[in-house]
Structure 1
């Protein structure tokens, strides 16, 4: 095949990783690609490094814009893409040399192709999944959420048809920082055929940036509400109100609230203000609807605090746990 693939890379303060990322794309076995680097208002040497990379390879396109976030950068890249297919790669990740060739080899009209990925926390420690094989699995899109741990909600391990994205004006939501990737994928699934082609070969290397993620702001209550609304409506459209999928949806929402509460607990605010934030979140429609699922924790007390919406006790519990962890670190 000689169909062009556009690969969009959002770039923000990525001077330490952008060269590794782009070089892995330049070294693809499949040559018919364009690499769209969207510099999203970087304040370091990212733009300079992108320009140096462009001098080596005329398949590289640089777009320089004001900072607007990763979703804004991806949407900008989509507008500039000229390939039949489009892929996304984050600037701190990298890919195997057959990332493009193996994906396009299995493409079918109006299907979504998805590959496996390797997750690492640093250069030495790897978290290897269950398998890395040449197995090809076809998944009904109604079952999409069952594959969340395999990366169904991420854009970077997929081959999309640009025609579908443009035809239905699909974009990444720019006003939220919670679940925006999954929202985009769900929109795409709505308009493709019924099958997801899952390649179990690990072609994408995902750099776990949990420490950086935790340094960002916690999602506003409105964002949690938006994500719940988008996820539940997506399940109704794709899975036809499947009870198991709706239960899984509630569990995912509760896990996101847990992350939110841990973020709140980790900031420097007073216990009173932390309690106020947690109580406000627990009073939302999404939390009230989903709290019966708890957070699926083996800690029965912790799980009970979520299910019973005990904001005050949860605030105290998290504070005690935080202090205990700090003592252990010493």
Structure 2
């Protein structure tokens, strides 16, 4: 497996919301020494998601890209397809409505390179709402992968990481 990052977007009928996600990925501030690719996994969409992804690869000049099709519907099938096709050592799962911060991929790479015992890494989710969120949203925000996932960095003995923005060391997956 080559040294670098595979960013995987599992998507279902997301032609209308895919552009800002890919735009944020294209804006990643990565040194040229860190190789990366973008894999869009079309999870049996009935709209033109695959065509939109292809045109966005060109629009944002994403040279290393894959447009994969997964016929079995479900997020876990789409993520599995993405990671099986990933050619780099680390993968980031970016939901089709997530916008990665411009230093996200660089930070994932640096953390994984520095902490060799780390199998997975979670992110911090910030909500972007089209309308003001309801009053209950703050109390239940963790159910929407929003906010901090733990009080501090380190090993998680009891709990989980959000799937949105989850980063993994691919060798662990393949074991």
Query: Aligning the two structures, in what range does the TM-score lie when normalised by the shorter sequence?
Result: 0.7 to 0.9
1:14 aligns with 2:21: no
Name segments (4+ residues, structure 1) moved above 4 Å.
Answer: 126-129
1:141 paired residue among 153, 156, 161 = 156
Q: TM-score, normalised by structure 1?
A: 0.43
Preserved CA contact (<8 Å) 2:4 2:109:
no
SS at match of 2:40: strand
User: How many angstroms does 1:139 deviate by?
Assistant: 3.0
* Cα pair distance change 1:139/1:65, threshold 3 Å: closer
Structural RMSD (CA):
2.5
Q: Distance in 2 between matches of 1:28 and 1:41?
A: 28
Q: Is there any run of 5+ residues in structure 2 with no aligned partner, and where?
A: 142-146
SS at match of 1:119: coil
Q: Distance in 2 between matches of 1:3 and 1:137?
A: 28
Q: TM-score, normalised by structure 2?
A: 0.76
Correspondence 1:16-165 to 2 at 5 A? 16-30=16-30, 32-55=35-58, 56-107=61-112, 108-111=115-118, 112-120=120-128, 122-125=129-132, 137-142=152-157, 144-145=158-159, 152-165=160-173
Correspondence 1:1-330 to 2 at 5 A? 3-30=3-30, 32-55=35-58, 56-107=61-112, 108-111=115-118, 112-120=120-128, 122-125=129-132, 137-142=152-157, 144-145=158-159, 152-167=160-175
Preserved CA contact (<8 Å) 1:87 1:159:
yes
| Equivalent pairs, count | 154
Structure possessing the higher radius of gyration over alpha carbons: 1
Q: Deviations over 1:169-225 (max 9, x none)?
A: xxxxxxxxxxxxxxxxxxxxxxxxxxxxxxxxxxxxxxxxxxxxxxxxxxxxxxxxx
